[in-house]
Amino acid sequence: MNLYATITVIGRDQSGVIARVTSFLFVQKANIEGLEEKVTRGQFGMTIQASWSANECSVPAIRAGLSDIGRALGMEIKIRFIEPSRRQRFAIMVTRETHCFDAIMAGVRNGQIKADPCVVIANHPDLEPLARKHKLPFVHVPWTDRVKAEKRALHVLEKHEADFVVLARFMKILSPTFVWRYKNKIINIHPSLLPSFPGPSAYRQAYEHGVKIVGVTSHFVSMALDEGPIIAQASFEVRSGMDIKEIITAGQRLESKVLVKAIKLYLTKRLDVYWGTVKEV
Protein backbone atom coordinates (compact mmCIF):
# COMPACT_ATOMS: atom_id res chain seq x y z
CA MET A 1 0.00 0.00 0.00
CA ASN A 2 1.32 3.43 -0.96
CA LEU A 3 1.16 6.70 0.95
CA TYR A 4 0.41 9.90 -0.94
CA ALA A 5 1.07 13.53 -0.03
CA THR A 6 0.88 17.07 -1.36
CA ILE A 7 3.73 19.40 -0.44
CA THR A 8 3.44 23.18 -0.80
CA VAL A 9 6.35 25.61 -0.66
CA ILE A 10 5.65 29.35 -0.38
CA GLY A 11 8.03 32.24 0.18
CA ARG A 12 10.40 34.81 -1.24
CA ASP A 13 11.97 33.67 -4.51
CA GLN A 14 15.56 32.47 -4.16
CA SER A 15 17.89 30.05 -5.91
CA GLY A 16 18.20 26.39 -4.99
CA VAL A 17 14.71 25.86 -3.51
CA ILE A 18 13.59 23.14 -5.94
CA ALA A 19 16.89 21.25 -5.66
CA ARG A 20 16.89 21.45 -1.86
CA VAL A 21 13.37 20.06 -1.46
CA THR A 22 13.52 17.40 -4.20
CA SER A 23 16.92 16.15 -3.03
CA PHE A 24 15.54 15.66 0.46
CA LEU A 25 12.53 13.78 -0.93
CA PHE A 26 14.87 11.57 -2.98
CA VAL A 27 16.80 10.67 0.18
CA GLN A 28 13.46 9.87 1.83
CA LYS A 29 12.69 7.46 -1.06
CA ALA A 30 9.79 9.50 -2.39
CA ASN A 31 8.42 9.11 -5.90
CA ILE A 32 7.70 12.61 -7.21
CA GLU A 33 4.61 12.24 -9.40
CA GLY A 34 4.05 15.90 -10.18
CA LEU A 35 5.77 19.24 -9.63
CA GLU A 36 4.64 22.73 -10.54
CA GLU A 37 6.29 26.00 -9.59
CA LYS A 38 5.75 29.65 -10.39
CA VAL A 39 7.13 33.03 -9.38
CA THR A 40 4.65 35.92 -9.06
CA ARG A 41 5.98 39.35 -8.18
CA GLY A 42 8.96 37.88 -6.37
CA GLN A 43 6.86 35.31 -4.52
CA PHE A 44 7.81 31.67 -5.13
CA GLY A 45 5.19 28.93 -5.02
CA MET A 46 5.65 25.20 -5.61
CA THR A 47 3.34 22.22 -5.34
CA ILE A 48 4.69 18.67 -5.32
CA GLN A 49 2.67 15.45 -5.51
CA ALA A 50 4.66 12.60 -3.96
CA SER A 51 4.15 8.97 -3.00
CA TRP A 52 5.96 6.36 -0.94
CA SER A 53 5.78 2.66 -0.39
CA ALA A 54 4.32 2.30 3.09
CA ASN A 55 7.31 0.34 4.40
CA GLU A 56 9.75 3.03 3.13
CA CYS A 57 8.01 6.08 4.57
CA SER A 58 8.87 7.65 7.92
CA VAL A 59 6.23 10.34 8.38
CA PRO A 60 7.92 11.97 11.42
CA ALA A 61 11.27 12.15 9.60
CA ILE A 62 9.67 13.67 6.50
CA ARG A 63 7.76 16.28 8.49
CA ALA A 64 10.82 17.19 10.57
CA GLY A 65 13.09 17.39 7.53
CA LEU A 66 10.74 19.64 5.56
CA SER A 67 10.29 21.83 8.61
CA ASP A 68 14.09 22.20 8.92
CA ILE A 69 14.37 23.13 5.23
CA GLY A 70 11.59 25.67 5.62
CA ARG A 71 13.35 27.36 8.53
CA ALA A 72 16.67 27.39 6.70
CA LEU A 73 15.13 28.98 3.60
CA GLY A 74 12.78 31.29 5.49
CA MET A 75 9.83 29.73 3.63
CA GLU A 76 6.59 27.99 4.53
CA ILE A 77 6.73 24.30 3.67
CA LYS A 78 3.74 22.13 4.49
CA ILE A 79 2.84 18.55 3.73
CA ARG A 80 -0.63 17.00 3.69
CA PHE A 81 -0.84 13.23 3.58
CA ILE A 82 -3.75 11.91 1.59
CA GLU A 83 -5.72 8.73 2.10
CA PRO A 84 -7.23 7.86 -1.32
CA SER A 85 -9.92 5.66 0.23
CA ARG A 86 -11.08 8.32 2.70
CA ARG A 87 -14.07 10.49 1.82
CA GLN A 88 -12.93 13.95 0.86
CA ARG A 89 -13.66 16.87 3.18
CA PHE A 90 -14.40 20.27 1.70
CA ALA A 91 -14.88 23.82 2.89
CA ILE A 92 -17.54 26.13 1.48
CA MET A 93 -16.74 29.83 1.16
CA VAL A 94 -19.70 32.19 0.79
CA THR A 95 -20.68 35.85 0.91
CA ARG A 96 -24.44 36.53 0.98
CA GLU A 97 -26.09 34.59 -1.86
CA THR A 98 -27.62 31.25 -0.89
CA HIS A 99 -28.50 29.47 -4.15
CA CYS A 100 -25.18 27.68 -4.67
CA PHE A 101 -24.84 26.77 -0.99
CA ASP A 102 -28.36 25.30 -1.02
CA ALA A 103 -27.58 23.27 -4.15
CA ILE A 104 -24.39 21.88 -2.64
CA MET A 105 -26.14 20.79 0.54
CA ALA A 106 -28.94 19.19 -1.50
CA GLY A 107 -26.28 17.34 -3.50
CA VAL A 108 -24.69 16.05 -0.29
CA ARG A 109 -28.06 14.93 1.09
CA ASN A 110 -29.14 13.06 -2.04
CA GLY A 111 -25.77 11.42 -2.59
CA GLN A 112 -24.82 13.30 -5.74
CA ILE A 113 -21.82 14.81 -3.95
CA LYS A 114 -19.90 11.99 -2.30
CA ALA A 115 -17.86 14.16 0.05
CA ASP A 116 -18.34 15.80 3.43
CA PRO A 117 -18.65 19.56 3.97
CA CYS A 118 -16.57 20.41 7.04
CA VAL A 119 -16.85 24.19 7.54
CA VAL A 120 -18.43 27.34 6.10
CA ILE A 121 -16.22 30.44 5.83
CA ALA A 122 -17.87 33.77 5.04
CA ASN A 123 -16.79 37.37 4.69
CA HIS A 124 -20.23 38.46 5.98
CA PRO A 125 -22.26 36.94 8.86
CA ASP A 126 -25.54 36.65 6.90
CA LEU A 127 -25.42 32.90 6.20
CA GLU A 128 -24.58 31.76 9.72
CA PRO A 129 -28.17 30.61 10.49
CA LEU A 130 -28.19 28.57 7.27
CA ALA A 131 -24.89 26.91 8.11
CA ARG A 132 -26.09 26.13 11.64
CA LYS A 133 -29.26 24.63 10.17
CA HIS A 134 -27.05 22.12 8.36
CA LYS A 135 -24.98 21.59 11.53
CA LEU A 136 -21.84 23.02 9.96
CA PRO A 137 -19.28 25.17 11.78
CA PHE A 138 -19.51 28.78 10.58
CA VAL A 139 -16.53 31.12 10.67
CA HIS A 140 -16.99 34.81 9.89
CA VAL A 141 -13.77 36.28 8.47
CA PRO A 142 -14.09 40.00 7.66
CA TRP A 143 -12.17 40.77 4.48
CA THR A 144 -11.18 44.39 5.22
CA ASP A 145 -7.51 43.39 5.35
CA ARG A 146 -6.88 40.64 2.79
CA VAL A 147 -3.56 39.50 4.25
CA LYS A 148 -5.02 39.00 7.72
CA ALA A 149 -8.25 37.52 6.33
CA GLU A 150 -6.46 34.95 4.20
CA LYS A 151 -4.17 33.98 7.07
CA ARG A 152 -7.23 33.35 9.26
CA ALA A 153 -9.07 31.45 6.50
CA LEU A 154 -6.04 29.23 5.85
CA HIS A 155 -5.83 28.46 9.56
CA VAL A 156 -9.51 27.45 9.54
CA LEU A 157 -9.00 25.21 6.48
CA GLU A 158 -6.06 23.49 8.14
CA LYS A 159 -7.89 23.10 11.45
CA HIS A 160 -10.87 21.43 9.74
CA GLU A 161 -8.63 19.31 7.48
CA ALA A 162 -10.25 20.50 4.26
CA ASP A 163 -9.05 18.58 1.20
CA PHE A 164 -10.53 21.09 -1.23
CA VAL A 165 -12.49 24.35 -1.27
CA VAL A 166 -15.69 25.39 -3.05
CA LEU A 167 -16.38 29.07 -3.64
CA ALA A 168 -20.18 29.19 -3.57
CA ARG A 169 -20.47 32.77 -4.88
CA PHE A 170 -17.68 33.99 -2.62
CA MET A 171 -17.21 37.55 -3.81
CA LYS A 172 -13.56 38.16 -2.96
CA ILE A 173 -10.38 37.69 -4.99
CA LEU A 174 -7.87 35.26 -3.50
CA SER A 175 -4.18 36.08 -3.61
CA PRO A 176 -1.57 33.90 -5.39
CA THR A 177 -0.14 32.77 -2.05
CA PHE A 178 -3.58 31.49 -0.97
CA VAL A 179 -4.25 29.77 -4.30
CA TRP A 180 -0.88 27.99 -4.36
CA ARG A 181 -1.63 26.31 -1.06
CA TYR A 182 -4.64 24.62 -2.72
CA LYS A 183 -3.44 24.37 -6.31
CA ASN A 184 -6.26 22.99 -8.51
CA LYS A 185 -8.28 22.33 -5.34
CA ILE A 186 -10.36 25.53 -5.28
CA ILE A 187 -13.54 25.31 -7.39
CA ASN A 188 -15.33 28.51 -8.36
CA ILE A 189 -18.55 29.32 -10.22
CA HIS A 190 -18.63 32.38 -12.47
CA PRO A 191 -21.72 33.93 -14.09
CA SER A 192 -20.32 34.02 -17.62
CA LEU A 193 -19.03 31.78 -20.36
CA LEU A 194 -15.41 32.60 -19.67
CA PRO A 195 -13.29 34.24 -20.95
CA SER A 196 -16.10 36.71 -21.70
CA PHE A 197 -17.20 39.16 -18.99
CA PRO A 198 -14.90 38.52 -16.03
CA GLY A 199 -15.58 40.22 -12.70
CA PRO A 200 -18.65 40.37 -10.43
CA SER A 201 -21.11 42.07 -12.83
CA ALA A 202 -21.11 39.54 -15.65
CA TYR A 203 -24.91 39.32 -16.05
CA ARG A 204 -25.25 43.09 -16.32
CA GLN A 205 -22.40 43.22 -18.83
CA ALA A 206 -24.09 40.53 -20.90
CA TYR A 207 -27.44 42.34 -20.70
CA GLU A 208 -25.91 45.67 -21.70
CA HIS A 209 -24.11 44.08 -24.65
CA GLY A 210 -27.36 42.48 -25.80
CA VAL A 211 -25.95 38.96 -25.93
CA LYS A 212 -28.35 36.20 -26.99
CA ILE A 213 -26.65 33.37 -25.12
CA VAL A 214 -25.77 33.69 -21.43
CA GLY A 215 -23.82 31.05 -19.59
CA VAL A 216 -21.95 30.11 -16.45
CA THR A 217 -18.53 28.56 -15.90
CA SER A 218 -17.11 26.46 -13.10
CA HIS A 219 -13.33 26.52 -13.00
CA PHE A 220 -10.32 25.95 -10.82
CA VAL A 221 -9.11 29.19 -9.31
CA SER A 222 -5.79 30.45 -10.64
CA MET A 223 -3.67 33.50 -9.90
CA ALA A 224 -5.45 35.51 -12.64
CA LEU A 225 -9.01 36.77 -12.08
CA ASP A 226 -11.60 34.42 -13.61
CA GLU A 227 -9.06 32.72 -15.85
CA GLY A 228 -8.55 29.34 -14.17
CA PRO A 229 -8.83 25.98 -15.98
CA ILE A 230 -12.48 25.33 -16.92
CA ILE A 231 -14.23 22.28 -15.45
CA ALA A 232 -17.83 22.69 -16.69
CA GLN A 233 -20.01 25.18 -18.54
CA ALA A 234 -23.64 25.61 -19.54
CA SER A 235 -25.76 28.30 -21.16
CA PHE A 236 -29.32 29.46 -21.80
CA GLU A 237 -30.92 31.54 -24.51
CA VAL A 238 -32.04 35.09 -23.74
CA ARG A 239 -35.64 35.34 -24.87
CA SER A 240 -36.98 38.54 -26.38
CA GLY A 241 -38.15 40.90 -23.65
CA MET A 242 -36.23 39.28 -20.76
CA ASP A 243 -35.14 41.92 -18.25
CA ILE A 244 -32.03 41.88 -16.09
CA LYS A 245 -33.83 40.32 -13.10
CA GLU A 246 -35.09 37.41 -15.21
CA ILE A 247 -31.60 36.87 -16.63
CA ILE A 248 -30.07 36.85 -13.14
CA THR A 249 -32.69 34.37 -11.88
CA ALA A 250 -32.12 32.02 -14.81
CA GLY A 251 -28.36 32.39 -14.39
CA GLN A 252 -28.42 31.58 -10.70
CA ARG A 253 -30.40 28.39 -11.35
CA LEU A 254 -27.75 27.37 -13.86
CA GLU A 255 -24.89 28.34 -11.54
CA SER A 256 -26.18 25.89 -8.93
CA LYS A 257 -26.41 23.01 -11.41
CA VAL A 258 -23.02 23.60 -12.99
CA LEU A 259 -21.22 24.02 -9.66
CA VAL A 260 -22.61 20.71 -8.39
CA LYS A 261 -21.61 19.07 -11.68
CA ALA A 262 -18.06 20.43 -11.32
CA ILE A 263 -17.75 19.10 -7.76
CA LYS A 264 -18.95 15.68 -8.92
CA LEU A 265 -16.39 15.68 -11.75
CA TYR A 266 -13.64 16.70 -9.34
CA LEU A 267 -14.54 13.85 -6.99
CA THR A 268 -14.30 11.24 -9.75
CA LYS A 269 -10.53 11.91 -9.59
CA ARG A 270 -10.50 11.74 -13.39
CA LEU A 271 -9.56 15.39 -13.93
CA ASP A 272 -6.07 16.53 -14.85
CA VAL A 273 -4.85 20.06 -15.56
CA TYR A 274 -2.44 20.12 -18.47
CA TRP A 275 -1.04 23.45 -19.69
CA GLY A 276 -3.95 25.31 -18.14
CA THR A 277 -6.67 23.05 -19.56
CA VAL A 278 -8.79 20.53 -17.63
CA LYS A 279 -8.87 17.10 -19.24
CA GLU A 280 -10.68 13.93 -18.18
CA VAL A 281 -8.28 11.02 -17.79
Which positions are catalytic? 226
> Residues 6 or more apart from 91 whose CB is under 8 A from it?
117, 118, 119, 120, 121, 156, 157, 160, 162, 164, 165, 166
> Which helix or strand (DSSP H or E) is residue 210 part of?
none
Distance of CA 209 to the CA centre of its chain: 31
Q: Is 277 exposed, middle or buried (0-12, 13-18, 19+ CB in 10 A)?
A: exposed
Terminal CA-to-CA distance of the chain, rounded, Å? 23
Hey, what amino acid is at 253?
A: R
Q: Classify residue 124 as exposed, middle or buried by CB count within 10 Å of its CB (0-12, 13-18, 19+).
A: middle
User: Which backbone phi and psi does 233 adopt, to 5 degrees?
Assistant: -140, 160
C-alpha distance from residue 237 to each of 27, 205, 219, 252 (Å): 58, 16, 22, 14
Give the separation between CA 84 and CA 246, rounded to whole angstroms: 43
Q: What is the CA radius of gyration of the chain?
A: 20
